[in-house]
Structure 1
């Protein structure tokens, strides 16, 4: 490894030291007691002069004792040496633990074994990261706090049953350690499939659920306790938005607070956004105004998904067929993975005016999301929901995110053709626009154009 100010040297230690800097005797703690995290640790130090400090630190940086609220380089009261460098005792316990070539390099900067000594350092709660604290406190040989979501100032947890007894400690530690956090909550039951929100228990901090988050150059404000928001979907929102072009039309069947709809409208698309949850609908409109969306391009609705498809979407298709104007490409997003597949059937036979069949010349792309359990197939779910074989019109099957070890959130993208909309069988001989080449163990299907 090469470090500026030192020649090329190896920093491999001769032995791995069995020293742990973790807190001790706190296993099983359920209510946070910060005083019990105090411990004294024997820490190796190098005493150096101010003149050669910069050159020595460049050589020793890989060995620094790196802890929160702790400076590896500190002042000392000494007639000869003014600074001391604290080294990590998990890597070094004596001078000879450092390889010969490194020691040779240090000696050129006036540092030898006489500069090396051991100093007792008191560590406390403030010195450890939350990961280290959880590892020291929570049950061994059990899954710990594997991760969390942060939405504005709120940290959102989904704790496993074996961690519930520790939830107040977990909440307080996160509140202490994550600087941007003011509230920690734990999901206390499954997501309500009607409004996509859930009951929450406040573990630590303020009972303030109004948050503001930024995504895709838009700001979204909402009450996290009453609407659905998942920060893990940011890339998926961005991905779908990249498919939209200026002048396209978006129908967002389950719009939520607008992560698809608002950026699409800002990109000069015509947007029809819908959500059944009245709170989502209100925040959707708030965010449209907050982001200065052109309201001429943006229409919002508080309808059931079925009613939205049977009225707003249907009326637009009929009007487009009857119009002589250039027909824009239509995108339909259906991000309600627990239920969205139950709504795709409402597209089948939606248009019953056979006189419009020959006038239909609209490209419609549907992005429908679903949960797929191990052993299931997303396209099969689509076919069963539609009541017909849609395989030839599937453009892409994409693995959006892992929900649990045996459950994935998937997106099926398909073309909504006029034979489906008019429910006319064997009337159209045109080939499908795209076919699939499925390759196992890939999150995205191979798409071959005709």
Structure 2
């Protein structure tokens, strides 16, 4: 075994240098010129007859020349003895001996030997290169290239580093060319605005058309991507939360956006109270409720600040529930998906209910799902501390789960803290127990000055 390895090493060291399957002469291009990507490359190939083709292909597959819009098996018209040709990757194979010995033995059983090994010239062009190969060939060497993208409907959106901004129009056009479902490419111009959760953007290629349609959790969502917030990376998280909801449950969606939690929940026979401060989100939320045929008896929408929604809509619902004016068949769920600042709204739950006569009538299970950005090495501890600090006491005994939703950037995670919202929190009984006198706790929550 060692002797074979040594022979292969010597053979590769003595074999001619293998051509690279990358575009050349395009480094630094800022205006896309597709013609300049044409290359003539000497490619190894095996010529053969139709006989035993499928068995031969199985041995050659690891060595195929794999580029876009190119079939590695072609008819051979300029050879009277053979009618098929298999093109091999020149980065892997330059001579017959570069094929694995076991594969060579199998090929020889089907009549394929060094005499079948030839070199043919192949012309590759822009249509054959992947966008990744093009970016590696064009963009500055030694620098980070386009690291990733998100796609929402027909819009592909990027967050380009400063050193790539001068190449942005080329980058955008390559994506439009290479991704069939993409018609528009935008680059984020700044961070997400905390008020309405959207960001400024620049169209760098394609149509200036922001109206998109997205399908998620058996629902169709339509919206203007330039005016509302939507993150395609959260689809799995939306699905997880929906899995916790049962028919008859109630959902309060404090920062609902265009409805990725609310619309599917209502479709699953939950009673939904959906709220968003952004008037455009509110508009598309209602549009999506209608287009997905959500029952009006199960769905109510609000265009309020999160504080007002908690201190008025949610409070009134609980009050009516305690008084027996409403019935509840399941649990109450509260989603708070505004990770940049949702934890700051937790304080409004503490002491939300003031009527002591309702304490004994409160017997409901309420689950809160609050999202935050945790920065540091221990994301779970950071997220837990953020929740405790904003609630104003140690919530550890109420916490059900601390879940890492997704990585945002190095040492920055989007976390979800799931906890029980209890009678003690809502009536501020925890604080009452520590009072040295008999006076009720000060009414310091849900006032207009906050």
TM-score normalised over the length of structure 1:
0.90
Deviations 1:40-93 (A, max 9, x none): 111001111123322221221111101101110111222221111101111110
Q: Is the Cα contact below 8 Å between 2:339 and 2:372 reproduced in 1?
A: yes
Equivalent positions of 1:380-419 (< 5 A) are 380-419=385-424
Change in Cα spacing, 1:367 to 1:100, as seen in structure 2 (3 Å) is closer
Matched residues in 2 for 1:115 and 1:367: separation?
Answer: 65
Q: Does 1:175 align with 2:173?
A: no
- SS of match in other structure, 2:61: helix
Equivalent positions of 1:281-360 (< 5 A) are 281-323=282-324, 325-326=327-328, 328-360=330-362
Equivalent positions of 1:16-31 (< 5 A) are 18-31=18-31
Matched residues in 1 for 2:391 and 2:74: separation?
Answer: 69
Post-superposition shift, 1:328? 2.9
Q: Does 1:261 align with 2:262?
A: yes
Deviations 1:201-229 (A, max 9, x none): 00110011111111111111111011000
- SS of match in other structure, 1:310: helix
Matched residues in 1 for 2:194 and 2:431: separation?
Answer: 37
Change in Cα spacing, 1:401 to 1:84, as seen in structure 2 (3 Å) is same
Give structure 1 stretches of 5+ with no counterpart: 1-11, 430-450
- SS of match in other structure, 2:142: coil
Equivalent positions of 1:61-100 (< 5 A) are 61-77=61-77, 78-100=79-101
Matched residues in 2 for 1:428 and 1:47: separation?
Answer: 88
Equivalent positions of 1:212-227 (< 5 A) are 212-227=213-228
How many pairs does the alignment contain? Answer: 418
- SS of match in other structure, 2:311: helix
Post-superposition shift, 1:103? 2.1
Q: Is the Cα contact below 8 Å between 2:187 and 2:201 reproduced in 1?
A: yes
In structure 2, the residue matched to 1:38 is 38
Post-superposition shift, 1:18? 4.5
Matched residues in 2 for 1:426 and 1:41: separation?
Answer: 77
Q: Does 1:166 align with 2:167?
A: yes
Q: Is the Cα contact below 8 Å between 2:18 and 2:94 reproduced in 1?
A: no
Which of 386-395 and 323-332 deviates more?
Answer: 323-332
Q: Does 1:379 align with 2:384?
A: yes
TM-score normalised over the length of structure 2:
0.90
Q: Is the Cα contact below 8 Å between 2:154 and 2:212 reproduced in 1?
A: yes
Q: Is the Cα contact below 8 Å between 2:251 and 2:272 reproduced in 1?
A: yes
Matched residues in 1 for 2:354 and 2:330: separation?
Answer: 22
Equivalent positions of 1:225-236 (< 5 A) are 225-236=226-237
Q: Is the Cα contact below 8 Å between 1:419 and 1:428 reproduced in 2?
A: no
Q: Is the Cα contact below 8 Å between 1:310 and 1:346 reproduced in 2?
A: yes
Matched residues in 1 for 2:315 and 2:235: separation?
Answer: 29
Matched residues in 1 for 2:389 and 2:291: separation?
Answer: 41
Q: Is the Cα contact below 8 Å between 1:210 and 1:222 reproduced in 2?
A: yes
- SS of match in other structure, 1:402: strand
Q: Is the Cα contact below 8 Å between 2:248 and 2:328 reproduced in 1?
A: no
Matched residues in 2 for 1:137 and 1:423: separation?
Answer: 62
In structure 1, the residue matched to 2:4 is none
- RMSD of the alignment, in Å? 1.8
Change in Cα spacing, 1:214 to 1:428, as seen in structure 2 (3 Å) is farther
In structure 2, the residue matched to 1:448 is none
In structure 1, the residue matched to 2:54 is 54
